[in-house]
Amino acid sequence: MPQNRWLSWLSPLLLVVLWEAAVQLGLLNRIFIPPPSEVVVALAKGLADGSMVADVLISSRRIALGFLIGAIPATLLGIWSGLNRTVYLLVRPLATMLYPVPKIALLPLVIVVLGIGEVSKIVTVAISVFLMVVIHTIGGVMQIDQRFFEVGRVYGANQRTLFRTVALPASLPAIIEGWKLAMGFALTLIVGVEFVGASNGIGYRIWQSYELYSIADMMASVCVIAALGWIITIGLDEVERLVVPWRHTVKESRMPLLKKWWGAVRPWSYTAAIIPVLLGASIAAQQGGLNWLWLALALIGSIAIQGGTNLMNDYYDYKKGTDTPAVKGTGGALLRGEMTPNQIFWAGIIAFAVGSTIGLYLVYMTGPFIFWLGLCSVAVGYFYTAGPFALAYVGLGELAVFIFMGPVMVLGSYYLQQPVVSWPAIWASLPVAFVVAAILHANNLRDIDTDILNHKRTLATMLGRAGARVEFYVLVGGAFVSVLVLIALGLAPWPTLLCYAVAPLAWRLMRTAATEDAAEKLHSVLRGSAVLHMRFGLLYVLGWVIALWV
C-alpha cells in the first residue's frame, strides 16, 4: 500500500534530517556526533584530495590478492577432497579445526613469520578465505546427488567427463556461496588488519581518524567501506548469474545488469534535471564569479533526485496498474519482468538519499532557503504519482513540472551562487519551464486513449484531443515567444536568440502533433520534445554564457 510505503521510505530520511537538526540546534555534541552534512564534507574532501580513493584502492588490492591466493587452491583442494576419500580424511579435520579460530588472532603470528609488510596482510586474508572456501566446497561436492554420477556412468562417461559434466557443475552453487561468504570475511578482516599493522588503506584511515578524534572522517570512511562491500556483493551476484545460469530463469540471466538499470533509471531524461541548474548558475554568473564545487554538487544532487523520481514513478505506476504493455517507451522495466518492484523501490530510495545528502550539505553551507526549496521539490517528486492525491492523476502534472523544473530549480541553483531571491532569475527561467512542460504534455497526448480507459486524469484527457493539441502549441510556442518578450523587457540578453536555431524542429513537432492520432507517431513527438528541451535549453544557457563577454 502506498501509504505504508510512504512511511517506510520517509523514516531513514527523517532520521538524517533529525540528526542534522539535533546537532545544528546544539542538542547533540558536534565533537562526538558530527551532523550528516559534516560527514558529507569529510567524504567530499577525501575524494577531492585523492587520499580516500588511494586508500580504497590499496585495501581493494589486498582483498583481491588475498582472495585469489586463498580461494583458487581452496576450491581445487575442496573439490578433490569431496571426490576422494583419502584426501578428504587428510584435509577435512584440519580445516574444521582451524575454521573457528578468529583469523585476526593469527595476524601477530603471520607478522612474526613474514614481517609487517604487505605480504603478511595479504596472507592473513588468504588464510581466512582459504578455510571458508575449502569447507564450503567440500560440503558442496559431498551433497551432490550420487544418482547423477550413475546417470553419467550409464551414459558412458569416464572419470574426467564425470568431473567436468557432473561434479563441477553440481557443486558450483555451493562453491560460489563459499566465495561470497569468504569475500565478506575478507572485507571485515582487512579493516582489522589495517587497524594494527598498516600505514595506509581504509582501515588505517578509520583508525587514524579515531586517533585524531575526527569523527566525521571516521564516519565517511565507514560509509566508503560499506559502499565497497555493497559493490563487491553485487559483483559476485553477477558472477553467480553468469556461472550458475540454471539457477535463474533464462530471461533473468540473459539481461545484463547494467542494461536493466539503464532502462529503469533512464539517464537520457536527465537534461530536465541538468539544464535548470546550468541556467540558474549562468544567470548568477552575470553578477560575479562561480562556486564550481557547489554547482557540481547541485548537478549531481539534481540528477539523483530525477533518477529517484523516475524509479518511484515506475514503482507506483506498476502498483496502480496504469502502465500496461500497451504503454511502451517510458519505464516498463518492471512490466518486462526484468526487475522486482522491491529492487526499483529501494533504488529509488537510495537515489533520493544521495540527492538529499547533497542537499543537506548545500543547506548547511548556504542556509535554510535551499532546504525549503529542496523539501518542496522532493515532496512534489514524491506526490507526483504516489499517495492518495497524485498530482499526475488529477491534471496538475504539467503545472507541477512547469513550476518545479523551471523557476524553482533555476532559482535554487541561482541562490547557491548569489544568496538572494531574484525575480529576474525567475522570469528568465520561463522559456525552459515551457519546454519541460511540453515534454510531459507530449507524453500525455500520446497516452490519451489509454489514460481515459484507466481513469487517469491528465490535462490532456480533460481537454480532449483537440484541446490537448492546442495546449501543445501553447507550450512549445510559449517557449519561443517568452524569449522574445524577455529580451524586449531587458530580462534576458540578446544572445539567447540562439535558441531560435531549433525552431525548425519545434515546427516539425507541432505539425506532427497536429495531424497524427496514432500512439507510435505521437511517441516520436515525445522523443522529439525531449530532444527539443535539451537543444533549446543548452542554446538558451549558451546565450547567457556568451552574454558574460559581449
Partner 1 sequence: MQAAPIVFIQAGLTYPNGVEALTDISLTIADQSAVAVVGPSGCGKTTLLRTIAGLERVSVGSLQVAAGAKRAMVFQSGLLFPWMSVADNISYGLMTRGTPAEQCRVIAREWADRMGLQRFIDAYPHQLSGGMQQRVGIARALAIQPDIVLFDEPFAALDAQTRLIMQELVCDLRRQGVCGTMLFVTHAIDEALIVADRIIVMSARPGRIIADLTPQLADVPSADKRALPAFNQAFADIWAQIRQEVDVQMHEGVN
**Where do contacts with partner 1 occur on this chain (CB under 8 A)?**
147-148, 150-158, 161, 165-166, 169-170, 172, 244-246, 249-250
Nearer to partner 1, 31 or 154 (CB): 154
Smallest gap, in angstroms, from Cβ of residue 371 to partner 1? 52
Distance CA 366, CA 94 (A): 61
Query: Rounded to whole angstroms, what are the CA distances from 408 to 196, 292, 532?
Result: 51, 20, 21
Distance CA 398, CA 436 (A): 9
In three-state secondary structure terms, 125 is helix
Q: How many CB atoms lie within 10 A of CB 242?
A: 10
Nearer to partner 1, 244 or 353 (CB): 244
Provide the residue type at 433 as one letter: A
Smallest gap, in angstroms, from Cβ of residue 237 to partner 1? 18
Smallest gap, in angstroms, from Cβ of residue 178 to partner 1? 18
Smallest gap, in angstroms, from Cβ of residue 165 to partner 1? 7
Smallest gap, in angstroms, from Cβ of residue 254 to partner 1? 10
Nearer to partner 1, 85 or 147 (CB): 147
The alpha carbon dihedral of 57, 58, 62, 63 has a sign of: negative
The grid cell for 41 is 564534507
Contact 273, 436 (CB under 8 A): no
Contact 91, 74 (CB under 8 A): no
- Residue-wise DSSP of 366-422: H-HHHHHHHHHHHHHHHHTTSSSS-GGGBT-HHHHHHHIIIIIHHHHHHHHHS-S--
Distance CA 479, CA 474 (A): 8
Query: Quick one: CA torsion of 100, 128, 172, 243, rounded to 10 degrees?
Result: 150
Smallest gap, in angstroms, from Cβ of residue 75 to partner 1? 17
Nearer to partner 1, 157 or 257 (CB): 157
Nearer to partner 1, 152 or 543 (CB): 152
Smallest gap, in angstroms, from Cβ of residue 356 to partner 1? 43
| Residue for grid cell 582451524 | 98
Smallest gap, in angstroms, from Cβ of residue 366 to partner 1? 56
Nearer to partner 1, 1 or 154 (CB): 154
In three-state secondary structure terms, 457 is strand
Nearer to partner 1, 156 or 388 (CB): 156
Smallest gap, in angstroms, from Cβ of residue 171 to partner 1? 10
Nearer to partner 1, 85 or 455 (CB): 85
First to last CA, the chain: 56
Nearest to 525 by CA among 331, 329, 326: 329
Query: Quick one: CA torsion of 104, 106, 107, 111, rounded to 10 degrees?
Result: 180
Nearer to partner 1, 168 or 547 (CB): 168
Query: Rounded to whole angstroms, what are the CA distances from 364 to 40, 144, 304, 430?
Result: 11, 58, 19, 29
Distance CA 361, CA 525 (A): 39
Provide the residue type at 189 as one letter: L
> What's the distance, CA 346 to chain centroid?
10
Smallest gap, in angstroms, from Cβ of residue 251 to partner 1? 10
Smallest gap, in angstroms, from Cβ of residue 135 to partner 1? 22
Query: Rounded to whole angstroms, what are the CA distances from 261 to 28, 302, 374?
Result: 39, 18, 26
Smallest gap, in angstroms, from Cβ of residue 150 to partner 1? 6
Nearer to partner 1, 247 or 259 (CB): 247
Distance CA 221, CA 501 (A): 49
Nearer to partner 1, 244 or 546 (CB): 244
Nearer to partner 1, 105 or 250 (CB): 250
Give the relative orientation of helices 51-83 and 118-142 as an angle to the nearest 10 degrees: 40
Nearer to partner 1, 245 or 464 (CB): 245
Distance CA 308, CA 385 (A): 13
Smallest gap, in angstroms, from Cβ of residue 153 to partner 1? 7
Provide the residue type at 188 as one letter: T
